[in-house]
Structure formats: structure tokens, C-alpha cells
Structure 1
Amino acid sequence: MNNKFIKSICQLFLLSLLLISACKKDKSADEPKDEECGNTKQTATSDRVELTNDSIFLYAKQIYYWNDELPCYDQFEPRQYTSGSNLTKYENNLLAIAQSTQEKYDVYTYQDNSGNTLYTNKFSYIEDVSNANGISAGVKNLSSSVNLQGKGNDIGIYDISAYGPSDNDFELFIKAVSPGSPAAQAGLTRGTLITKIGSETIGDDWDTDIQSINLLFNDPSSVHLEGKKADSTAYSVNLEKKAYTSSPIYKDTILSISGKNIGYLAYARFSDSDNSEEALDDVFQKFSIKNIEDLVVDLRYNGGGYVTTAAYLANLIVPNGTSGTMFTEYYTQSLQDGQVDILKNQPVRNSKGDIVGTSTYADYDYTPNGQGNTTKFSKKGNLSGVKNIVFLVTANTASASELLINSLRAVPSLTVKLVGTTTYGKPVGFFPVRLEGIYDLYLPSFTTKNANNEGDYYKGFTPGDEISGKNMVDEMGQDLDNFSVYDFGDKKESYLAEALNQLGVNTTISTASRIMSIRSNQNNQNAPINLLKNKPEKKVFKGMIETRIGN
């Protein structure tokens, strides 16, 4: 047992004793239930898992956005979570915290392939940042994806879609490929058709093929693929999992149609400044040269990221002269009142997780008027005259993406529209709390509202509802994005074609004709069916991280 580990245990042990004393002697205003049921079960311990389970609950009591709804320690009993790996124990603790709240905003309900109802956290989570197993989970270590520092370690296929008239007649397509990945280096893009995985021919027997298809969801170390690229050329590749650095930009282009120059940006994630800002600057410089007034920003697979990056992109988009409030952060009342003694144990960290200075998170002013809690517009870049912007969105569009949309819709000189399906619905954000020296705990601690005081979009934004645009679902309620065979930026792609229509550009291709002209199904009159509607959820970050005080 090394000294660092012993020191960590000792610190947590002392923290536990201090918290016991604090609970007995000095109850805060938001903990009335502790007086009723007591705090007798939080006894002194040197067990690392018990201490961490205690810490998760005790941090939640002070900084969780719905902390006033949580029970007292003896009612909740955080040490009861003892099954599975340490990370599983802590995740079960977090889920129980979310289920203790009245509205249960932080609980995501879904059905597995057997029809069982399962639950997981929608907003909060905990991740291992030790890198002991390479890039594996969470913000630092996303599995089968790219993290918020632009680091990936997989074959690079972000997502796939399978559809057709029947289980014995369907096609499998790639929906997105991470730039810089093995798949991207092999020339695979969105719209690539997969006809063979390993030795298995795909498309003629769903019950057999799904076993091979599932390999692509399980972070394979290697896989052989055959098929046709988006330009219809054949390919046969062997993809090997490896570490790589990825741009956050899937695609950018300028579409010249009907006398208009329309800027298009497909943005994967609000990664940290080192990974995002230069890439975004380059794109918007190209837009400025063409004096772009109409923008399409594709956020359909963007789960969020850093608040500062969302503000940076907003400032690149807005016209010259835009000023005033972009958004305001509203923290939980205990944070605003300074009742956060437990945060004295948390040094301030930057976006890389490095400790900055000697301050702790307890030293910060969390009132709406506190330093940096109201973000103002400050124009960046040379693109000066944007008037219209269409965001492409899906259920994977979350958090910092929704923050950007919500902030810009309050700008009087901009017309903002949405094309796609209802977004994820995450108006809350967080900052990391380090436990055991290896786990980062993310508890929703604040919500945001725009200059018009609009926020609380827990049900997401539905195109054509409170924000105008087009909801891209068919008669069966299926997301039309699942049937697209075109690459990002192709004006024939269903979402982009509709965005152009919203901007007053007639593409002359209706949604119905686009779907019914899909390659080998050209002559098939049966409506295509999404066969992967119950596929595993992508292990991608969905969140909004506040690191401003650490920069």
C-alpha cells in the first residue's frame, strides 16, 4: 500500500469524523430531516468504499441541484451499496440519490431487448480518471468514442443504422465516423454501407446478423468490414483499435445554392479550448470570406461538453454589435448561501483536471451575480453578419448544445430554427469533485437561463414547437436520420435538405422521395423500418461542465 493511498484514506477518515461532528452540532437550513431521523449510522470507518459512498451522498446534500429533496443520512444509508465493482457501487448510490427526488429529472428510464424496465442516471455520473485501463469511460476516457480533450481509442465508428422493409431485407449504414480514427483513415464516412462483418454477410437474416452487428457496439479490438462507401465505390478494410487525436468537426463546407452562400458545420462535441477553438476559428474564417449570412450547425450527435467552449462558439456566430447577457447560471441555494464546507476539500481544477492555485470550490461566489455566473456576449472572429441559423438536432443533442441553442434564440437580430427530433433535455450543469484521487463525481449543481429568462427545458426542444422548424419523424414516429445514406454536408441528406428549405432554398427533393430512393430499395414500395431502435446507448458524454473558475 503506497503512501499516497494511505494519505487519501486518512483524509477521508478525518472528513468522515468532521462531517459527523458537523451534522450533530451545526445543522444547515437545508437539512431539517437530519434532526428528525438522526445521523447515527455514519460511524467512524476506514473502509475506502464506505467512505466514498458517504462522500457521494454528503456532497449531494450540499451541491446536488435537488438537494433539498434528499432524505437524511440514516434514511438513505449510503453504505448499503456493496454489490459489483467499486464503480458500480458508486453508480448505484448515485441512481438512488436521483430516485429520491420528487420529479426525478435525473432518472432515465428505458426498455431492454427483453422488455424489462431499467433505470440509469440521466444527468449525474462518476468516472474513473486514473487511466489504468487506457481510454475507457467518461469525460477523460470515453468508451467507443472520443473524449473532451479530443482523444479516442477505438476503431472510430461512432454509430450505425439498420433498416429495410423486413428482417430478411435490410441495409446497415454508418451514421458517423470520428475524424482521425482508423475508420476515417480507411476512407469510411457517414453513409457508408456495410455488407459484411468478418465472414458474415449482412442484410438477409436479422436474427443471425445481429450477433455480428453487436460487435460494433462492443468496442472491438479489430474487425473486418466490406461494403460500399457513400460515393458507391467498394471497400474491404481491416480496422484495428488504436489511440488517436480527433478533430471535433465532422465536416464543414459552404453550399452555394440559388444565389446564396450557406455555411455548414457538423460539430461533434464541445471539447476543451485546445481541441476546439483553433478548429472553429478556421471554419468561421472561411465563412467570413464568403460573407455568410445563413448557417446550418449540425449538432445531432453532440452531447455537450465545456460551457466555455459553448460560449466561444456563440461569440463566433453572433453578428457584430451583439452585447448583453448570453446566459446566467443559477446554483443550488446552499451553494449560493455559502453552506458548502465540504467543498473546502476540493481544490479548483482546470479542464485537464490539474489543480490551479490554492483556492477550493468553497471559495467561489455562486450567486447569479457572482464572478462569471452571468456570461456576456463578446464577439469573436470576422464573420459579422449572420442573420439565420438552423440547428440540426436529435435525442443525442444535449446540454452544452442545448445551452448554445437556448442562448442564441434570445438574440433579437438572429432567426433560430430547429430541424430534427426532440433534444435530450439537460438544462443543468456541474463541475468535477475528485474522490479517492481517481474518481471524478459530477453532480448537477446549476441550471442556465438565457437573456429572456428561458430555461428549464427538461423535456428537450422539439423542432416546430417553442422553437420553429421541422420535426423529422415519419408516420410511424421513426427518426428520419436513421434512414439517411448521405455524408455530412451533402444537400441530398434529409436533415440538411430540410434545413435548406427552412432557409428558403428549394432542394426539389421531398423527404418521402429521399427515403424511397435508398440504393437497393429503390423499387421497394414498403416503408423502411428501423431495426436498431433498441440498440445499446452510445457511451458518449452528455453534459455541461463549468471550468471557468479553473482557467
Structure 2
Amino acid sequence: MKIALQQPFGKWVVFILVAFFFVSCKKNTPDPEPEPEPIVRTTDQKIRDSIYYYYKLYSIWEEKSIPKYELPSEFTDKYNSASSVLNALKGMTPAYANYAQYGGVYDRFSFIDGLNGYNINATAKLKMDRNDGYGLYISMGTVDSKVARPVIYFVEGGSPADKAGLKRSDMVTAINGETDFTVAINCDASGCKPVDPNALTNMRNRVANALEGGGLQLALLRQDGTTYNVSLSYGSYTIDPIYHEEVYEYPSKNVGYFALSSFEEIERNNYNQQRVDASFKTFEDKHIEDLIVDLRYNTGGYVDAAVYIANKIAGTKVPEKKLMVTYICNAYMERTQKGTNGMFRDTYFSQTSTLNLRKVYFLVSEKTASAAEMLINVLKPYMNVQIIATGTHTYGKPVGFFEQIIENRVSFWPASFQLKNSAGFADYWDGLVADKPNVNDYIFLPTGDTQETMLETALEDAVPGSTKKTSARVRASQHARMSIGGAVNALPERGLLKN
């Protein structure tokens, strides 16, 4: 009903009528429902929601694998931690039988790190630019045919261990004043084994625990019989990824050796760029014809650093502007990041060195991954490449990541792109296959020693007759020098990162 009044006194009439109307209707009109309370998500819930959201947005597998929910909470409220949400999402990616030990699906790679003390119920995986610890990596190796003890197999450049002068092949005789670090073994024609496997396991655990933090006092025995003592402080250090470089000069040719532990950031003439430039300037000045690139302890790093080093190795062998790598990603990333200025635009070779190499040798292990595999893969269509491996293949990680910060509490790295070389090869999920497999990583000689078995194998191919062939292997047989039980502490995982 519409009431229109023209006279002032009518206002009171209208008031009375309206009031009467509401009073008379009140019995028949229910009270209005209260407005629903706004949904307030806790920080933990927001983090879980964001992991779903960004995985759906960025993951290379999202289109066919991850269901769409109007509200992420419909999915994430089934789980009680950030890591369990991510594990559930990874578990939805396509099945891949060869990854049985990783859950049998393609995505064994996406990961999260906690920031500012946030607990993600998982172990942080990414270690780039800076690392924490001693930079000391130890295996168990036999001293003779009766006992084995801890042996250093790798020292990271820039670390406390590196600065203290520790070397690959040094044997540990005491840790923090304790001297009982030997394990009894039996050796025969098939090799050496611990008398008591539990004793070996306990020894490995003792050494690993000693490397976890605090301070470290070590007594060491060098292969030449000399002894020395060092004290190390556990702390953060800047990684120096080039841990050895050398030119081996022979009458017929010069061969370069370049040992790289990771692909740290190279930009704006920083220290890493200066080191790489200086190494390759030496190789150019010495007119090397072959190059040995040691990646056996390299678990990855930045894509742009791998591109930079690929250009240095390719030199004049690869014509300017030849395609190096293209990216495979989901539809959203295709639309937003594959244009001329996008993160995932195609990458082309540029001649940044004068090298014209006959052959490139890559020394690898089953830990060699990500950016290290990328480097090998992009050079294979253009150069004579030989892969020399401790096993039969590299790790197998053809996908990479970029970082998404969530609530300033979580660093999220969903696997967002796959790399394809100029020949169209991208599916090295099981690793790059070795040309020369099952070559012993002889840890009882220092890095760069030409009698070290993997380096010796490359040099013997590059310059036949140049090395004392099989000398390291004969020495191992005579003195029962061999690794036993594998690495005590694992190398940090780097990944394949876009920044």
C-alpha cells in the first residue's frame, strides 16, 4: 500500500496507521534469521588453503589431475598440516610405476619449507646460495682388510671444512675426543663386509649425529700417513660452487677439468659469475680441446646459472641463436609466462667463450639432478657428450620450481615446468643414461688426482695412454680400499629453480 499525504497533520495519521499495521502483523511475521557469521580462517587453515590454490594454479599436472573446488577448504579441511595437504595433491598426479618408492606418482618433487619458525611437519629440502653446517660429507671406507672408518668424500667450497683445509680422502680417526671409530670387516674376492652389520649402522649414526650441530673437533689421517687436528664451528656460509678446476697438459692436447657442486646464482657480475668467467678464461688461454665437468655431487640449482655455463661450454661449437631449451607448463602458465618477456620464454645459445671443444665428459652419480641434468641435456644435441656414471644413470628430475611465499610462514615450491632440449627430449624421469656406467667413485684420492677412477676414465678416453691405467683400481684391490655402507650424511637437495 502506498500512502501519499499532502497536509502536515496527515503525518500523525500515517504514523498511527503504520504503527498499527506493524503491531497487527507482528504475530504472523517470524523474526528474521540472523546474518551468518563471517567465516574466519586461522593462519594454519589459510596456509593449507593457499597450498591447494597455488598448486592448482601453477602445477604442471593441475589440469588433468587436481579437482576444482569452489572453496579450497572443501579439500584442505580434510588434512591437519600443510605437508599433508601437499602430499595429498602430489598423490593425485599421474601414476608412474618406476617411482614406487616415492608413492608411485610423477610428482615426487614439489615441496614446502617453513619460514620464521613455522612447523610444516616436514624436513626442509632447499639449500641454495647459503648453507648451514660444516660443509663436510662423510662415507665409511676400509682402511685395510680388517677395519673400516669414516672417510671424507666431499668438502663443499666456502664451508668451514673447506676453510680449515679438510680434503676428500682424509680419514677421521677421532671426533670430539672419542677415538673408537673403526668397524671390523671381512674381505674376500667379492669385496668387504662388516663382521657385524649393526656395528656399522651404529657407527654411521654416531658420525651423523656428530655432524648435526654445535662444535666439531676432528683428528684426521691423510693418505700419505700424515695426521692433523682441526676444530670446526657449525654455522651459515656462502657456497663457493667451483670446488676444483685444472688444466691437464699433454703433448697431444690440453684437457680442462671443472668440478661444480651446485648452480648458484649468477648475475650482475657477482662472485659466482667472476669465478666462472675466470675458469673459462683459463680454459681458453690454455686452448683446451676436451673438458671434463664433474657433477657427481651436484644436485641442481638455478636455471639461469645452468644456461650461463652451457653457453661457456658450447663456445663457438654451437652457432649463435640456436635453440637451447623450451618449457612445458600448464595452460595458465602458457598464457601468462611464455611470451617474449615471460618467465618461460624459449632460451637460445649465445657465444660467450671462444672454446671449440672436441668432446665434453660429464662425471655423474645417481645424486646428479635438476640443473645438472639440464646442462647435459641441452648440450647433447649439439656436442659430443659422454656421460661417465657411478651407477647407470643420473637422478631424473626434468621439472623445476619457482617460489611462492604464503602468509610469510611457508615457502612453497610447486613443480611448475618441465625442460625440453632442442631435439625435443624432456622425459628423463629415470635419469640420463650413462655411456660408461658403474665406474667406481674412488674416494681415497683427492679431487683432481688423475688416478682417481672417474677422472682417470675420462682422461684415458680423451688422451689414450695418458694415465697410469687401472692404478687406482689395483690399489683398491691390494689394500682393500673401498666404500662400505654408503654416505653417512646426504648431499643437500638443490632443485631446478627459476627466480
Paired residues of 2:134 and 2:235 also in contact (CA < 8 A): yes
SS at match of 2:77: helix
Distance 1:132 1:365, change over 3 A: closer
Aligned pair 1:177/2:137, yes or no? no
Deviates more, 1:231-240 or 1:292-301: 231-240
CA–CA separation in structure 1 for the residues paired with 2:83 and 2:387: 34
- Give the equivalent residue in structure 2 for 1:79: 77
Shift of 1:445: 1.2
SS at match of 1:272: coil
Paired residues of 1:484 and 1:515 also in contact (CA < 8 A): no
- Give the equivalent residue in structure 2 for 1:201: 180
Shift of 1:243: 2.9
- Give the equivalent residue in structure 2 for 1:91: 83
CA–CA separation in structure 1 for the residues paired with 2:97 and 2:42: 32
Aligned pair 1:435/2:429, yes or no? no
Shift of 1:537: 4.0
CA–CA separation in structure 2 for the residues paired with 1:393 and 1:461: 10
CA–CA separation in structure 1 for the residues paired with 2:144 and 2:109: 36
- Give the equivalent residue in structure 2 for 1:355: none
Q: Deviations over 1:30-60 (max 9, x none)?
A: xxxxxxxxxxxxx943211111111111211
Deviates more, 1:396-405 or 1:196-205: 196-205
Consecutive unaligned residues of structure 2, counting only runs of 5 or more, are 1-37, 185-198
Q: Deviations over 1:38-96 (max 9, x none)?
A: xxxxx9432111111111112111211111212344898223332xxxxxx22222222
Aligned residues between the structures: 433
Distance 1:184 1:132, change over 3 A: farther
- Give the equivalent residue in structure 2 for 1:261: 254
Aligned pair 1:545/2:482, yes or no? no
Summarize the alignment of residues 370-381 of structure 1 with structure 2, pairs less than 5 Å apart.
373-381=345-353
Paired letter, 2:227:
A
CA–CA separation in structure 2 for the residues paired with 1:44 and 1:166: 68
- Give the equivalent residue in structure 2 for 1:502: 461
TM-score (norm 2): 0.79
- Give the equivalent residue in structure 1 for 2:386: 417
Paired residues of 1:160 and 1:174 also in contact (CA < 8 A): yes
- Give the equivalent residue in structure 1 for 2:284: 288
SS at match of 1:317: helix
SS at match of 1:51: helix
CA–CA separation in structure 1 for the residues paired with 2:429 and 2:238: 33
Shift of 1:472: 2.2
- Give the equivalent residue in structure 1 for 2:222: 229
CA–CA separation in structure 2 for the residues paired with 1:246 and 1:62: 33
Consecutive unaligned residues of structure 1, counting only runs of 5 or more, are 1-42, 83-88, 111-116, 339-363, 465-469, 474-479
Paired residues of 1:257 and 1:505 also in contact (CA < 8 A): no
Aligned pair 1:487/2:485, yes or no? no
Paired letter, 2:112:
I
Shift of 1:301: 1.1
1:530 to 476, 484, 488: 484
Paired residues of 2:95 and 2:104 also in contact (CA < 8 A): no
Distance 1:335 1:170, change over 3 A: same
CA–CA separation in structure 2 for the residues paired with 1:435 and 1:369: 25
Summarize the alignment of residues 358-373 of structure 1 with structure 2, pairs less than 5 Å apart.
364-366=336-338, 373=345
Shift of 1:165: 9.4
Paired residues of 1:156 and 1:184 also in contact (CA < 8 A): yes
CA–CA separation in structure 2 for the residues paired with 1:211 and 1:427: 33
CA–CA separation in structure 2 for the residues paired with 1:530 and 1:536: 14
CA–CA separation in structure 1 for the residues paired with 2:115 and 2:447: 33
Q: Deviations over 1:481-516 (max 9, x none)?
A: 2x42112211111111111123243355455x5245
Q: Deviations over 1:220-269 (max 9, x none)?
A: 22122212235542112222213332311110011123532111010011
CA–CA separation in structure 2 for the residues paired with 1:249 and 1:215: 28
Paired residues of 1:63 and 1:443 also in contact (CA < 8 A): yes
Q: CA RMSD in A?
A: 3.1
CA–CA separation in structure 2 for the residues paired with 1:292 and 1:95: 48
Paired residues of 2:93 and 2:107 also in contact (CA < 8 A): no
- Give the equivalent residue in structure 2 for 1:322: 319
1:391 to 342, 347, 362: 362
Distance 1:119 1:256, change over 3 A: same
Distance 1:51 1:418, change over 3 A: same
Paired residues of 1:105 and 1:458 also in contact (CA < 8 A): no
Paired residues of 1:98 and 1:104 also in contact (CA < 8 A): no
Summarize the alignment of residues 295-334 of structure 1 with structure 2, pairs less than 5 Å apart.
295-320=291-316, 322-323=319-320, 324-334=322-332
Distance 1:516 1:81, change over 3 A: farther
- Give the equivalent residue in structure 1 for 2:93: 101
CA–CA separation in structure 2 for the residues paired with 1:184 and 1:493: 20
CA–CA separation in structure 2 for the residues paired with 1:69 and 1:536: 35
SS at match of 1:454: coil
Shift of 1:211: 3.8
Distance 1:309 1:211, change over 3 A: closer
CA–CA separation in structure 1 for the residues paired with 2:97 and 2:279: 36
Shift of 1:210: 3.0
2:165 to 180, 187, 206: 187
Distance 1:101 1:372, change over 3 A: closer
Distance 1:47 1:523, change over 3 A: closer
Distance 1:101 1:153, change over 3 A: closer
Paired residues of 2:131 and 2:236 also in contact (CA < 8 A): yes
Shift of 1:523: 4.2
1:471 to 437, 443, 453: 437
Paired letter, 2:461:
Q
Paired residues of 1:428 and 1:447 also in contact (CA < 8 A): yes
CA–CA separation in structure 1 for the residues paired with 2:149 and 2:73: 52
SS at match of 1:314: helix
Paired residues of 1:109 and 1:120 also in contact (CA < 8 A): no
- Give the equivalent residue in structure 2 for 1:359: none
CA–CA separation in structure 2 for the residues paired with 1:537 and 1:106: 22
SS at match of 2:293: strand
CA–CA separation in structure 1 for the residues paired with 2:104 and 2:92: 16
Paired letter, 1:325:
L
- Give the equivalent residue in structure 2 for 1:447: 418
- Give the equivalent residue in structure 2 for 1:514: 472
Paired residues of 1:399 and 1:425 also in contact (CA < 8 A): yes
CA–CA separation in structure 1 for the residues paired with 2:117 and 2:47: 19
CA–CA separation in structure 2 for the residues paired with 1:498 and 1:262: 13
Identity percentage of aligned residues: 29
Paired residues of 2:98 and 2:104 also in contact (CA < 8 A): no
Paired residues of 2:141 and 2:484 also in contact (CA < 8 A): yes
Paired residues of 2:263 and 2:305 also in contact (CA < 8 A): yes
Distance 1:367 1:240, change over 3 A: same
2:275 to 279, 301, 304: 279
Deviates more, 1:99-108 or 1:48-57: 99-108
Paired residues of 1:123 and 1:542 also in contact (CA < 8 A): no
Shift of 1:439: 2.0
Paired residues of 2:96 and 2:106 also in contact (CA < 8 A): no
CA–CA separation in structure 2 for the residues paired with 1:152 and 1:390: 28
